[in-house]
Chains A and B, each alone.
Chain A
Amino acid sequence: MAQADIQLQIPSAAFYIEPVRVFVGNLAQSLGFSRKRVSDIQLVLDEICSNAVHHGSADEKVGVKLCISIDTHALEILVRDTGRRYTGEKNWLTHERLSEIEMNRSPNNERGHGIFIAKSLADMHEMQPNAAGGTDVRVTFRLPKPRDIEI
């Protein structure tokens, strides 16, 4: 299959994450990902969209952009938010903040598992500040080799 790009924009509200999760699950399934991998992809998508909505959006209207790319090797998902825009807030993506998040993670905590899940399950996970003042999160899942396909 040649390179294909799918672009979506949803309001920054949790309500719209579920239908996108279902859509991406169907897409991954059509691409031949195993059932296990489809649910990994759906979980990672849910986590990064939830973060974009809950931590990376000033209000519901600003929206979250998704760009889904498929090439011969991989399914890549980019989730782009525009940031909270707290007055005077520095970019949150500092080395200190990220290692603090990582160090504080505990199974006993109610929160703070989303980034860990995305990092653990995606073949590649990358977070970068973007020009809009928000965050770009890019995750990649290698397409299954023919022998990995579940029938």
Chain B
Amino acid sequence: MDSTKLMKLREESGIKVIEIQTDLSSYAASDLRKVLEGLLAEKVEKVVVNLSQVSHINSTAVGALVGVAKRLRQSGGDLKICSLADNLTRTFNLIGASSVVEIYESENSALAAF
């Protein structure tokens, strides 16, 4: 099983959008890390991760998003996330990741923030 197929990549005006179509517990979290590392390897700079179809996220997945956001910023880019369900927002807040990664209500507002 490979959950990277449930992480759909597209491009919106020069920004990579990843739409996650799976819940992010441990197994899918390491696939998310692979997808994000793939983008880093391709020298992609601007990334939006759309979490509208995600109803669960764990610390490993949050950590992967934080780590890649920080690395992208070093090269002038960024990773922004959008469309979080309430429980996802609570998890980001509990970890403190909401102060490290920019979170937007909708994909459009995340795209517009670049």
Contacts and interface: CB of A to CB of B under 8 A. Distances in A.
Interface of A: 13-15, 17-18, 21, 36, 39-40, 42-43, 46-47, 49-50, 53-54, 106-111, 113-114, 116-117, 120-121
Contacts of A116: 95
Contact of B94 (A13, A14, A49, A117): A117
Interface string B64-100: 1011001000000000000000110011001111011
Contact of B95 (A14, A15, A42, A113): A113
Contacts of B91: 43, 117
B108 interface: no
Interface string B1-23: 10000000000000000000001
Contacts of A108: 66, 70, 100
Report, as a range, how many residues of chain B touch the other chain. Answer: 20 to 34
B56 A107 contact: no
Contact of A21 (B56, B66, B95): B56
8 contacts: A18-B26, A21-B56, A43-B58, A46-B56, A47-B58, A50-B25, A110-B67, A113-B59
Contacts of B1: 15
A39 B26 contact: no
Given A39-B87, A113-B59, A46 B26 contact: yes
Given A18-B25, A18-B27, A108-B66, A43 B56 contact: yes
Contacts of A49: 26
B99 A114 contact: no
Interface string B38-75: 00000000000000000110111011101100100000
Contacts of B55: 39
A121 B93 CA distance: 13
B99 A107 contact: yes
Contacts of A50: 25-26, 58, 60
A107 B100 contact: yes
B59 A18 contact: no
Contacts of B103: none
